[in-house]
Amino acid sequence: MTVLFVTGTGTGIGKTVTTAALAAAALADGRSVAVLKPAQTGVGPDEPGDAAEVARLAGAVTTEELARFPEPLAPATAAARAGRTPVGPQQVADAAEKLAASHDLVLVEGAGGLLVRFDADGRTLADAARLAGAPVLVVTEAGLGTLNATALTALALRTHGLRCAGVVIGSWPAAPDLASRCNLADLPESADAPLLGLVPEGAGGLPPGAFRSAAPGWLAPALGGSGTFRLPG
């Protein structure tokens, strides 16, 4: 795949760190990578956003933001409150296509979940992915409640005619509880897509060099991983 959209079942579940792991694995394989953040919310004009965090962890990637809004809200609300023009799905798809012309892999990281509103017309990341003709990777949580959230996201993907590339757990605990361990077997059924990665809890706090060395091992080969990925027992 040349363009891959990355969404989540909610906020704060590891989308940015997962995107960084995908980028690091691709870079380790000698591929060029661009990271597109359509709408960055909750940071000031001189503060690093999610794309910058991916570059810090993964290395030499091209980064692009289409818009930045200061309040930590859904993009449509943040744009309206800032009195700024929101980002439209066609703008996202066009930017991804342009980056794909000069990069082997373009990672488009959404804000929050798949159906978070981009504009007053209710358009979402799903609309952008459909226009781009790109698959969507779902980042989800490990523990109790994740099966329902993942199933709902998968249903939304099918409703929009989108292909789910797979599921990655964005913060796999060092000491997983019973629900987390059982979810390893149950998540693929909920998503109707394979489980393709476990990003360790706290991975974003690793030194960049250690992150880059370890990242391929967190991902299955379908995501450019090293082939060492195994589901814990």
The residues near 220 (Cβ < 8 Å, ≥ 6 apart) are: 166, 194, 196, 197, 229
Residue 110 counted as an annotated binding residue: yes
In the chain, what percentage of residues exceed pLDDT 90? 91
Whether 228 shows a pLDDT value over 70: the answer reads no
- Give dist(CA 221, CA 185) in Å, integer: 19
Which pLDDT band holds residue 233 (cuts at 50, 70, 90)?
A: very low
**pLDDT (tens digit per residue) in 176-215:** 999 999 999 999 999 999 999 999 999 999 999 999 999 9
**pLDDT (tens digit per residue) in 55-66:** 999 999 999 999
**pLDDT (tens digit per residue) in 23-54:** 999 999 999 999 999 999 999 888 999 999 99
What helix, strand, coil percent values describe the chain, rounded to 5?
40, 20, 35
DSSP 139-182: EE-SSTTHHHHHHHHHHHHHHTT--EEEEEEEEE-SS--HHHHH
CATH tag, 3-223? 3.40.50.300
Domain spans of the chain? 3-223
Residue 170 counted as an annotated binding residue: yes
pLDDT at 85: 94
Residue 50 counted as an annotated binding residue: yes
The catalytic position among 4, 8, 24, 37 is: 37
Active site residue 37: yes
Supply the angle between the helices 125-132 and 89-100 in degrees, to the nearest 10: 40
